[in-house]
A and B are shown apart, each in its own frame.
Chain A
Amino acid sequence: MSAALELVDVHKSFGSTRIINGVSLSVAPGERHAIIGPNGAGKSTLYNLVSGRFPLTSGAIRLNGEDVTNLRPYQINRKGLARSFQVTNLFNNLSVYENLRCAVLWGAGYRYSFWHRLSRLASVNARVDEVLAKIGLARRARTAAGTLSYAEQRALEIGVTIAGGASVILLDEPTAGMSRTETAHAVELVRQVTVDKTLLMVEHDMGVVFDLADRISVLVYGEIIASGTPQEIRANAAVQAAYLGTLGKGKAHA
């Protein structure tokens, strides 16, 4: 069986600055895979490469065995990959309901249709209601996304990401900036919505990482220095040196 997501020797430079330096990574279908690493290690850049936001300098990315290297974001999304953003990235003037409906439309096959009436798309609207219930925003359905509270926006961010039914989900710091209870809530949500899906996530909160992830990769200065189960990573000397060393030196980031 081919990997759900596979990165082969991926490089990315901005000008002469090399940000990603030969990353190879394979995520099996159904696996929850976390990427950790100190600030500036290139985690967000890696996400932007995988989701098609930036072109690669060299290397290849395969999604469910299919080459998606340097495709546009919408092409990659149509092949079954959806991502969330570290900084909330929603349709602010549209209601929560419409945000989710937009995310459902392409996958439901309505594309650019101007001959269907949204109010009559029963299957789409049922899916929206389902996601609304999952992310706990059913009572806020008519509220404009831009006026939601921070935690609600983060929940909607996850909702928009999973609503389309993608098989591979990339979450970028789903618990960033959350309180302890909000974090616990978000972890439960992530666990729920990624059942039977492949999850790749960047996360700074080690509690969340060790709680959720089946496997962990450690990214330092654009290279993956270790990859393994949580137990293996915890025991890995190189990780302790590089990662904890960095943490010890400067600012802890969790």
Chain B
Amino acid sequence: MKLSLRMGSSLVWAVTAVLLVVAPWIFPGSFALTLLTQMGTLAIFALSYNMLLGQGGMLSFGHAVYSGLGAYVTVHALNLLGRGAFVTPLPLLPLLGGVAGLAFGVLFGYVTTKRAGTTFAMISLGIGEMVYACVLMFPGFFGGEAGISTNRTVGQPLLGLNFGPALQVYYLVAAWSFLCMLAMYALTGTPLGRMANAVRDNPERAEFIGYDTRKVRFLQLVLSAFFAGVSGALSCINFEIVGAENVSALRSGGVLLATFIGGIPFFFGPVLGAVIFILFVAALSGVTKAWLLYLGLFFCAMVLYAPGGVASLLLAQIGVIRAGKFGRLVVPYAAGAVACATALCGLIGIVESVYRLSDSTQGTAMRLAGLQLDAAQSAVWVGSSMLLVAGFVALRFAARFIGRRWTEVKAA
């Protein structure tokens, strides 16, 4: 049993590695490549965030501080590299970003991890705001509002790679993502990793079995800040610019959203979260101005109805599939999907209409699902509202249907 489990986990890692390698061929095109690169970067960031939230019970509102400062250090290193101040192959720069993140983790973590719970959350927010203010106050180092730009191709080519083409950058990010995932997974199986779980569950008892809970939180945060710094360095290499938004509360909030949507109780949850989040941010933002609203609604829905995130929903299905009972759930799921789609159509109709009406420069005409509509027409509003209400009512029935079948399947 133990052997098969271990083989199972090496199989998962092998599949992950293969997926990372072939992803650019499965999803061809430069836009897809941009998304994949961002997903890899965010996956590291979200996993590092989950070292705090999911594994250590620390709700941080300032995790972008570590990735952002790691990115700033990397951008300066790249520019020094360009002036020939030192020679380092570009693929090793994320390590520098990681060390920078770790150093700031030591500095700020010393303060934030003094307390757990709400106090930790408050202090992390305060430090995030403080760092953001500092970034704008010292334009000499941080480049002010405009940020600092760089050129990733300045270094010596390594094995003929100069990391100019996006594909080379993708593989750089993919390699680091894989290494970081492995490292962070390994950390979950160490004494510190386990005690972080213990301190999350019951800090008081942890103290009575010999552990200084503050030190556990501190070390966990410092390690997490290292990986955040790595992801910051990768984003610097990818975008060739680092600005104040890299350390902003918006970025800190983003990683919280991504991690939670993916699922904090599971190691790989944040990876799923990163994929979904980038699809929302990068892909949906090109289609509609209201993408942030949709992301917010999706987040709220997850918090309310699936606190274990997408990962928990997927894992629940795996159990059913293994038992050979998934067939019993196909019909209820289809009903749920139709109800969801109906409600979503109504919602999109209303939201997009509101955006058209509020932005006078755009005009009220819009194309939705191949239909030419006009937000100023009452028919659009009535139709959308009806779809929304009908969808919600159907969803209630579908949810009950799914729940009944689910209980049956579980009982059998």
CB distance from A39 to the nearest CB of B (A): 23
Cβ of B373 to closest chain A Cβ, rounded Å: 49
Residue from the set B204, B208, B213, B216 with the largest chain A CB neighbour count within 10 Å: B208
Closest to B199 in A: A91
Bound CA span A160–B205, Å: 10
CB proximity to A under 8 Å, residues B45-67: none
Instruction: Given A91-B202, A160-B205, answer yes or no on A107-B192 (Cβ-Cβ < 8 Å).
Output: no
A117: Cβ under 8 A from any B Cβ: yes
A192 within 8 A of B: no
Q: A89-B202, A94-B198, A102-B198 are in contact. Are A113 and B211 (CB under 8 A)?
A: no
- A-chain residues with CB within 8 Å of residue B190 when the two chains form the complex: 113-118
User: Would you call A105 and B191 a contact (CB within 8 A)?
Assistant: yes
Assuming A92-B202, A94-B201, A112-B192, is B186 touching A117 (CB within 8 A)?
yes
A94 contacts B197, C-beta separation under 8 Å: yes
Contact B201 A113 (CB under 8 A): no
* Residue numbers in B under 8 Å from A98 (CB-CB): 194, 197-198
Instruction: For A91, give its contact among B201, B207, B216 (CB under 8 Å).
Output: B201
Say what secondary structure dominates the interface of chain B: helix
- Choose one: B197, B198, B209, B213; the contact of A77 (CB below 8 Å): B209
Closest to A163 in B: B209
B208 and A102 contacting across the interface, CB-CB below 8 Å: no
Contacts of B215 in A (CB 8 A): 112
- Distance A91 CA – B223 CA, assembled complex (angstroms): 23
User: Is the C-beta of A168 less than 8 angstroms from some C-beta in chain B?
Assistant: no
Is B121 on the interface with A (CB-CB < 8 A)?
Answer: no
Q: Binary interface profile of B, 166-190, with partner A (CB < 8 Å = 1, else 0)? A: 0000000000000000000011011
Task: Check A74 against B205 for contact (C-beta < 8 Å).
Answer: no
CA distance A72 to B215 in the complex (A): 13
For the complex, give the distance between the alpha carbons of A113 and B278 in Å. Answer: 35
| A113 lies within 8 A of B192 (CB) | yes
Whether B192 contacts A90 by the Cβ 8 Å rule is no
**In the bound complex, CA of A93 to CA of B202 (Å):** 10
B194 touching A90, Cβ below 8 Å: no
Q: Are B208 and A106 in contact (CB under 8 A)?
A: no
Given the interface pairs A92-B201, A94-B197, the reply to whether A160 lies near B209 with Cβ below 8 Å is yes
Which residues of A79-131 have CB atoms within 8 Å of chain B's CB atoms?
82-83, 85, 89-94, 98, 101-103, 105-107, 110-119, 121
A51 near B201: Cβ-Cβ < 8 Å: no
Query: In the bound complex, what is the Cα–Cα distance between A32 and B335 (angstroms)?
Result: 65
Residue of A nearest to B186 (CB): A117
Q: Which residues of B contact A51 (CB under 8 A)?
A: 208
Contact across chains for A114 and B193 when beta carbons are under 8 A apart: yes
Q: Is the CB of B206 within 8 A of A102?
A: yes
| 200-238 of chain B: CB within 8 A of chain A | 200-202, 204-213, 215-216, 219, 223
A90–B202 touching, CB < 8 Å: yes
B43 to chain A, nearest CB (A): 21
Check: A73 CB closer than 8 A to any chain B CB. yes
- Decide yes or no whether A164 CB sits under 8 A from chain B: yes
Residues of A with C-beta under 8 A to B200: 93
Q: Name B208's contact: one of A83, A105, A117, A119 (CB within 8 Å).
A: A83
Which A53-81 residues sit within 8 Å CB-CB of chain B? 72-74, 77-78
Q: State the Cβ distance, B189 to closest chain A Cβ, in Å.
A: 5
**B192 vs chain A, min Cβ distance (A):** 4
**Shortest distance from the beta carbon of A131 to any chain B beta carbon, whole Å:** 13
Q: Are B208 and A82 in contact (CB under 8 A)?
A: yes
Q: Are A77 and B201 in contact (CB under 8 A)?
A: no
Q: Is B272 an interface residue (CB 8 A)?
A: no
A112 to B212, CA, bound (A): 10
**Cβ of B195 < 8 Å from any Cβ of A?**
yes
A51, A92, A94 pick with most chain B CB within 10 angstroms: A94
User: CB distance A73 to B208 under 8 Å?
Assistant: yes
Could you say which of B187, B209, B216 contacts A103, with CB atoms under 8 Å apart? B209
Chain A, Cβ-Cβ closest to B220: A114
Residues on the B chain within 8 Å of A106, using CB: 209-211
Contact partners of A112 in chain B: CB under 8 A: 191-192, 195, 215-216, 219
**10 residue pairs, one from A and one from B, having the closest CB atoms:** A106-B210, A91-B201, A114-B192, A73-B207, A110-B191, A77-B210, A102-B198, A114-B190, A103-B209, A113-B191
17 example contacts (A-B, Cβ-Cβ < 8 A) are as follows A77-B207, A82-B208, A85-B205, A90-B202, A90-B205, A92-B202, A93-B197, A93-B201, A94-B201, A114-B190, A114-B192, A114-B219, A117-B190, A118-B190, A118-B193, A118-B194, A121-B191
A74-B212, A102-B198, A118-B191 given; 4 more Cβ-contact pairs under 8 Å: A72-B212, A74-B209, A105-B195, A113-B192
**B→A interface (CB under 8 Å):** 186-187, 189-195, 197-198, 200-202, 204-213, 215-216, 219, 223
